[in-house]
Structure 1
Amino acid sequence: MPAHSRCGVLLVNTGTPASPKPKAVRKYLGKFLMDKRIAPMNRACWWLIVHLCILPVRGRKSGAKYEQIWTDEGSPFTIAHEKLTYGLAAAFDEAGFGNDVVARHAMSYSSPSIDSALEELAEAGCSHVVVLPLYPQSAHSTTGSVHDGIERAMKKAGWKGTFDFIDNYHDNPTYIKALAASIRHAGFEPDSDDLLLFSFHSIPLKDIEAGDTYELQTGASSLQIASELGIDRKRWTIGYQCRFDKGREWLSPYTTEVLARWAEAGVGRVFFVCAGFAVDCLETIYDVGSELRPLYEEKAREAGKPVGDDDFVYVPCLDRSKAHAKVLFDVVSPYVKEHIDG
């Protein structure tokens, strides 16, 4: 045990199945779907629907999708978080924090669990933890779920220390500049007719009616990134993807509708950026390449518009990059410094 108190930094994201096999996918989805912030009805009824209707089908279909993005090293989502955490730790070391800071990552619905990550931080001598959910724009179903998980884990472990919980970083200047730079790097030309589509994960409208500020944050992030690029409002818009079901009203306009409209108009290249996803995952790697891009090309052809290989450009997430580690360092370091200096 270190002779002095250390500060832990815990990055938390949703998670990924242990493998693309249907059994592993069902296990992962079962945990995710039974979260009280995800379930659309009372727990007993929802449990029956999930286990008797949804998982048998979704486990097989989602498993086939995961199979297509899986790598020899395993889940790209898991690998990215491991390298990103290492990069963040290196950033603290380079900034002169030395052994005072310990960085870990955890998943809400898979491994490493929040419980195990907190246990590691406690064993490393951390009396304070800065928790950062990797959702730039907070929502009840994402950031709120992480907060629930942290409270459960700390209660279970009898946590005696303190913690800071960072709700969002949607307007952090380093985050805004990093995304703008990644869009430019992908080939976006501010002085052209290129169009920019910010696609975020949708949420149920009932969450917004309950006070969720997610929509306001997605709008603010998009506006600031566009301003950083120096483009006017006619050059960009927002869409929402990944509706879970059709039984509820979801935040729109839907990404598919925006793409169909732009394809039919046939003006400029479309640059597609998932500004709300910190790390590339099934919803970006598979959905964009295998569903959304083909949809755009199909609609363009139906409208009699020529489609070139570079007419639809996906801008990768910040993922495991040094730029992303710099963003996260900028977000969490003030909290870390306050604890260490205090």
Structure 2
Amino acid sequence: MGSRDGIARNHGHRDVPSPKVGVLLVNLGTPERCDVKAVRHYLAEFLSDQRVIELNPLLWKFILHGFILRFRPPRMVRAYRKIWMEDTDESPLRFHTRMQSDRLAGLLKQQGDKIIVQWAMRYGTPSIPDGLGQLRKLGCGRILIAALYPQYSATTTATVHDKVFECLAGLRDQPSVRTLAPYYDHPGYIEALAESVEAYLKSTPERPQVLIASYHGLPMDYVEAGDPYYCHCAKTTRLLRQRLGMDDGLLRMTFQSRMGPKQWL
């Protein structure tokens, strides 16, 4: 009986190396530059996602291109200028996502060279197809998709997964893919939040009368349709209160950012 190597040579099969493990950190996205053209391009991609805007597509396309993309980008540029990092010419979200990826890669490197970390954005660059392609080129046969949203929502986590599986659908040789579960109640996450709050309290001479736990808003009809986001936010806040020894009068849960006439959290 011939060896497997012999069979591979006789039939022209390629050698199959031991696969590496890839980790793809995925965040929301950000404009490439702090100008109207870049912001308009980012908004067009973001707000064209039907997971984000659940309206009739034809009606929404008219609203998006007829009104929002004409008038909203200049206002957003003024807001971005207040936080834009001039030294690296990028938004804080892009900077911190890259730093998070680099630090995780450094920690995992201590365990050898079998785990490779890349980062991507759901909207903008580097894109999810770019990130998956890079991991595959580096020999990753197993990939963990880590959407950087502690609390699950169809508008965030689910659309990351949608894009990943859309990319996989076009591949003949697909890697094995797993997705990171929401970690809104993970002890490590709660501890990290608590340590951040405690560090702030130690640094300020006067104790605040109230602390605000502010989450991004979501249309109420999304929640009523079954999106678990509100429940996840509420549990994160409750566990953080318990860890810090605070009641709901001192640590309050709120939501920020809304768009359009709908009722939001």
Structure 2 partner of 1:279: none
Structure 1 residue 28: deviation in Å? 0.2
Instruction: Measure, in 1, the Cα distance between the counterparts of 2:171 and 2:33.
Output: 28
Residues 96-245 of structure 1: matches in 2 within 5 Å? Answer: 96=111, 98-187=112-201, 194-245=209-260
Alignment correspondent of 1:11: 25
Contact 1:226 1:236 in 2 (8 A): yes
Who is 1:33 aligned against?
47
Q: Distance in 1 between matches of 2:211 and 2:232?
A: 18
Deviations 1:301-340 (A, max 9, x none): xxxxxxxxxxxxxxxxxxxxxxxxxxxxxxxxxxxxxxxx
Q: Give the Cα–Cα distance (whole angstroms) in 1 for the partners of residues 50 and 173 of structure 2.
A: 23
Aligned to 1:86: 102
Runs of 5+ consecutive residues of structure 2 not aligned to the other structure: 1-14
CA distance in 1: counterparts of 2:172 and 2:166, whole angstroms: 10
Rounded Cα–Cα distance in structure 2 between residues aligned with 1:124 and 1:193: 49
State the Cα distance separating 1:159 from its structure 2 match.
5.0
Structure 2 CA distance, aligned partners of 1:210 and 1:85? 34
In structure 2, the residue matched to 1:64 is 78
Following TM superposition, the consecutive aligned residue runs of length 4 or more in structure 1 with deviations greater than 2 angstroms are 156-159
The answer for the alignment partner of 2:10 in structure 1 is none
Question: TM-score if structure 1 supplies the norm length?
Answer: 0.69
Gapped regions of structure 1 (runs ≥ 5) = 252-342
CA deviation after TM superposition for structure 1 residue 136, in Å: 0.5
Deviates more, 1:21-30 or 1:35-44: 35-44
Q: Trace 1:303-314 onto structure 2 (pairs within 5 A).
A: none
- The Cα of 1:197 is off from its aligned counterpart by 1.2
> SS at 1:164's partner residue?
strand
The TM-score, its normalising length taken from structure 2, stands at 0.88
Q: Deviations over 1:171-230 (max 9, x none)?
A: 1111100110000101269xx664221100011111112211111110111111111112
Q: Does 1:49 find its partner at 2:48? A: no
Secondary structure of the corresponding residue to residue 108 of structure 1? strand
Residue 233 of structure 1 and its aligned partner are, at CA, apart by 3.0
SS at match of 2:170: helix
Residues in 1 aligned to 2:36 and 2:208: alpha-carbon distance in whole angstroms: 44
Q: Report the 3-state secondary structure (helix = DSSP H, G, I; strand = E; otherwise coil) of the residue aligned with 1:228.
A: helix
- In the TM superposition, what whole-angstrom CA distance separates every residue of 1:140-194 from its partner, at most 9, and x where no partner exists? 11111111111112123445121111231101111100110000101269xx664
What does 1:319-330 correspond to in 2, within 5 Å? none
Paired AA for residue 259 in structure 2: F
Go from structure 1 to structure 2 and tell me whether the alpha carbon gap of 1:159 and 1:173 turns closer, same or farther (over 3 Å shift).
Answer: farther
Q: Which structure has the bigger radius of gyration?
A: 2
* Pairwise CA distance, 1:40: 3.5
The CA RMSD measured in Å over matched residues stands at 1.9
Residue pair 1:89, 1:102 contacting (<8 A) in 2 also: yes
- Counterpart residue type for residue 151 of structure 1: F
Letter in 2 for 1:113: S
Q: Which residue of 1 aligns with 2:11?
A: none
User: Which SS does the other structure have where 1:222 is aligned?
Assistant: helix
Counterpart mapping for 1:220-299 below 5 A: 220-245=235-260, 247-251=261-265
Partner SS for 2:31: coil
State how far apart, in whole Å, the 2-side matches of 1:137 and 1:5 are. Answer: 31
Q: Is the 8 A contact 1:2 1:124 kept in 2?
A: no
Count the aligned residue pairs: 247
Distance 1:135 1:178 in 2: 15
